[in-house]
């Protein structure tokens, strides 16, 4: 390998500049980031080593070493981890590898946020290695990847535009990173400073973090007593400076809030504190420890395909695997944390886990605990729960149709706006049911894009008149929920835009029935002629029981797919056959009388067809949907205005 100079990708240079400026007030985190990377690299070699013992040959001592040199102003962090090849080094350090980070970073640049805010946002993504440039004018990496024949590589950069790649003389497996500290940052090259920072941020790292401690000591005699008059000599001793005590193994009372939060930052790359934590120590037939966190903010990739399960599996303090689909169901992918089981073998593989019943039981237990925590939060600290729900409610809803066993519990956790809540305020099914008037038997909802677009829907008229509450289902996922959730506490869920709606009491029903029959007789042939005029768009025309002021509305059959759902499918590029809808007419609206008299006068009057189409267009508009032919509609409206205006003028 000959020495070559390469340029950082533009975004890396920009990120470096931003990082060095915006994280200025919190410089010391570079140690946490580098130690965290070293710990990950050790996890990797340990796992690979289980599969292929040869990889660990020559050095099975898995550890991190921190050295410093005050005079030279350097700090060196070395690990016996997996190491990197030349390609990996270029890929990992020279580019922003994670696609989401890149997108996020580009957005951040445009945002012009304050530096504090930027630091916080950047922290969410874990700037990792780059944070070392906050304190360094130059960084040198020497690394050799595990495995025979892998050539050691040397990387060097001042963190501005370029880096060089060269052959290294490193013989051991692993990575050594040397920071040449800025003049104003040489204070970091101190035993106490480093010890302090490691204690603060990295104490729980499960591998030993060692330091060579230098002391001036007087020689001792055979009893251990200092020899008087003898000259002091310099001694060097390797000391482990972290307790290595996995935080989840400790008793709750022995863990400080700060430690919990630091650990959360380590596993989540989130700069913020968690919203809630759950620390479990389960003993019995099943025994495991778990430390789970609910974040405050949803990560950018929560709904992307690559979203991972945020809980890792450990066996007796040793990291086994992350993104484990057996530990938590997918709809709980937002939970971060670790689960440590003493009942599994260390060399457990994904395949074995699939068969293993232990994990199934642990999963059940964890889900139960998480749901209990949320329930409690909802009852005791509603504000906090709403903060959580605003970020993660959508994911939780997925559980309603994927986790049959917990459907009821989840249903109690979801919230909606309704015709009886103020804008932006939410209510639950339980509260809805409590408010139901005695004679109301079903739970009503309306689906659509937003509360605004639904609030004045003709479908709500009768409900408003009756003072019945209607829930706004405005999340695309809500349409899917109702497929799995047909009732709540034995009360059927009913869409106000589907099927027949009759909110009358028994006595009224009788009268309505009679009135409907007479209307049918009276308007029957007219309705047939309207249906004929609109046969391409609708399958039926009928007299409505749900309208009080509007002339018309469109409804679907009970089992038809709703137009909102059709739209959702379309947005996912899935074509589904369009289902024709039903046009309902308000029997108390004068338009019906008008049309009837035109019909009586001349069944073939072209106005009938035109009015039918106008009625249909009105119904479409009232739903906030686009018209098929808006120009035609506009012309017709203009003609009508002229006609009406003229009639009025002649009358005078
Ligand atoms: P992150 O740790 O968030 O992935 P970093 O910029 O800190 O981001 O590191 C980028 C990548 O470089 C890591 O994902 C890892 O693949 C590699 N890396 C960093 N430090 C080490 C190390 N000490 N040993 C092996 N690989 C490392």
Domain ranges of the chain: 4-240, 247-394, 414-495, 522-651
User: What fold is seen in the domain 247-394?
Assistant: Ribosomal Protein S5; domain 2 (3.30.230)
Report the DSSP beta bridge partners of residue 470: 444
Residues 6+ apart with CB under 8 A from 441: 491, 492
pLDDT at 485 (0 to 100): 87
Is the CB–ligand 1 distance for residue 81 below 6 Å?
yes
Q: Angle at the Cα of 111 (from 105 to 116), degrees rounded to 5?
A: 85
pLDDT at 316 (0 to 100): 79
Is the CB–ligand 1 distance for residue 79 below 6 Å?
yes
How many angstroms is it from 97 CA to the middle of ligand 1? 10
pLDDT at 200 (0 to 100): 82
pLDDT at 39 (0 to 100): 92
Q: Angle at the Cα of 53 (from 48 to 59), degrees rounded to 5?
A: 90
Is the CB–ligand 1 distance for residue 488 below 6 Å?
no
Dist. CA 215–CA 94, nearest whole Å: 40
Tokens describing residue 264 = 């959360």
Residue 242 Rama label (left phi>0; alpha psi -120 to 50; beta): beta
Predicted TM-score (pTM) of this structure = 0.74
* Level-2 CATH architecture, domain 414-495: 3-Layer(aba) Sandwich (3.40)
Is the CB–ligand 1 distance for residue 45 below 6 Å?
no
pLDDT at 6 (0 to 100): 92
Report the DSSP beta bridge partners of residue 67: 76
How many angstroms is it from 189 CA to the middle of ligand 1? 23
Report the DSSP beta bridge partners of residue 142: 154, 176
Is the CB–ligand 1 distance for residue 315 below 6 Å?
no
* Level-2 CATH architecture, domain 4-240: 2-Layer Sandwich (3.30)
pLDDT at 121 (0 to 100): 61
Provide the 10 A C-beta neighbour count for residue 16: 20
Is the CB–ligand 1 distance for residue 483 below 6 Å?
no
pLDDT at 128 (0 to 100): 77
Which of the residues in the chain have pLDDT under 50? Answer: none
In CATH terms, the superfamily for domain 522-651 is Heat shock protein 90, C-terminal domain (1.20.120.790)
Dist. CA 446–CA 457, nearest whole Å: 9
Residue located nearest, by CA, to atom 12 of ligand 1: 92
Tokens describing residue 308 = 């991972």
How many angstroms is it from 177 CA to the middle of ligand 1? 12
pLDDT at 94 (0 to 100): 66
The closest-lying atom of ligand 1 relative to the alpha carbon of residue 79 is: 23
Is the CB–ligand 1 distance for residue 80 below 6 Å?
no
Diameter of the chain by CA atoms?
131
Q: Which residue has the tokens 């729980």?
A: 204
Q: What is the CA radius of gyration of the chain?
A: 35
In 3-state terms the chain splits into helix, strand, coil percentages (rounded to 5) of: 45, 20, 35
């Amino acid at each position: 390998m000959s020495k070559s100079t390469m340029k950082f990708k533009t975004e890396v240079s920009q990120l470096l500049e931003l990082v060095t400026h915006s994280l200025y007030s919190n410089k010391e985190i570079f140690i946490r980031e580098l130690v965290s990377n070293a710990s990950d690299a050790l996890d990797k070699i340990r796992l690979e080593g289980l599969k292929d013992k040869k990889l660990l040959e020559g050095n099975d001592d898995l550890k991190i070493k921190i050295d410093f040199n005050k005079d030279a102003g350097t700090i060196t962090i070395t690990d016996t981890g997996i190491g990197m090849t030349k390609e990996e080094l270029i890929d990992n350090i020279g580019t922003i590898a994670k696609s989401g980070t890149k997108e996020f970073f580009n957005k951040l640049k445009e945002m012009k946020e304050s530096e504090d805010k930027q630091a916080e946002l950047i922290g969410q993504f874990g700037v990792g290695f780059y944070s070392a440039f906050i304190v360094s004018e130059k960084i040198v990496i020497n690394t050799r990847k595990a495995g025979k024949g892998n050539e050691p590589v040397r990387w060097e950069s001042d963190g501005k535009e370029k880096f060089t790649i060269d052959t290294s003389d490193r013989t051991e497996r692993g990575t050594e990173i040397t920071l040449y500290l800025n003049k104003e940052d040489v204070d970091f090259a101190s035993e106490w400073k480093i010890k302090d920072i490691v204690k603060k941020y990295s104490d729980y790292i499960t591998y030993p973090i060692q330091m060579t401690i230098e002391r001036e000591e007087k020689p001792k005699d055979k009893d251990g007593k200092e020899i008087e008059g003898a000259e002091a000599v310099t001694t060097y001793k390797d000391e482990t400076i972290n307790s290595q005590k996995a935080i989840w193994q400790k008793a709750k009372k022995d863990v400080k809030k700060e430690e919990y939060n630091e650990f959360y930052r380590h596993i989540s790359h989130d700069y913020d504190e968690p919203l809630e934590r759950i620390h479990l120590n389960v003993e019995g037939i099943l025994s495991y420890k778990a430390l789970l966190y609910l974040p405050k903010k949803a990560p950018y990739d929560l709904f992307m395909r690559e979203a991972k399960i945020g809980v890792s599996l450990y066996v007796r303090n040793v990291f086994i695997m992350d993104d484990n689909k057996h530990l938590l169901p997918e709809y709980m992918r937002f939970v971060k944390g670790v689960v440590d089981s003493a009942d599994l073998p260390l060399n457990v593989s994904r395949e074995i886990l699939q068969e293993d019943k232990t994990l199934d039981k642990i999963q059940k237990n964890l889900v139960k605990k998480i749901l209990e925590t949320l329930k409690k939060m909802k009852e005791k600290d509603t504000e906090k729960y709403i903060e959580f729900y605003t970020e993660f409610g959508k994911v939780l809803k997925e559980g309603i149709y994927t986790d049959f066993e917990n459907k009821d519990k989840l249903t109690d956790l979801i919230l909606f706006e309704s015709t009886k809540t103020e804008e932006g305020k939410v209510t639950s099914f339980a509260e809805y049911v409590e408010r139901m008037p005695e004679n109301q038997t079903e739970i009503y909802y309306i689906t659509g894009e937003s509360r605004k677009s639904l609030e004045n829907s003709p479908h709500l008229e009768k409900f408003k008149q009756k003072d019945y509450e209607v829930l706004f289902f405005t999340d695309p996922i809500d349409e899917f929920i109702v497929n799995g959730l047909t009732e709540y506490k034995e009360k059927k869920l009913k869409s106000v835009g589907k099927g027949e709606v009759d909110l009358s009491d028994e006595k009224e029903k009788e009268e309505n029935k009679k009135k409907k029959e007479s209307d049918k007789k009276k308007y029957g042939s007219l309705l047939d002629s309207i249906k004929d005029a609109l046969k391409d768009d609708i399958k039926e025309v009928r007299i409505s029981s749900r309208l009080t002021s509007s002339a018309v509305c469109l409804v679907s059959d009970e089992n038809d797919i709703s137009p909102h759902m059709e739209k959702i499918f379309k947005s996912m590029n899935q074509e589904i056959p369009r289902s024709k809808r039903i046009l309902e007419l308000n029997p108390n609206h004068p338009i019906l009388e008008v049309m009837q008299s035109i019909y009586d006068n001349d069944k073939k009057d072209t106005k009938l067809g035109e009015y039918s189409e106008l009625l249909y267009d009105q119904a479409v508009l009232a739903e906030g949907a686009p018209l098929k032919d808006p120009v035609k509609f506009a012309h017709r409206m203009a003609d009508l205005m002229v006609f009406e205006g003229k009639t009025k003028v002649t009358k005078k």
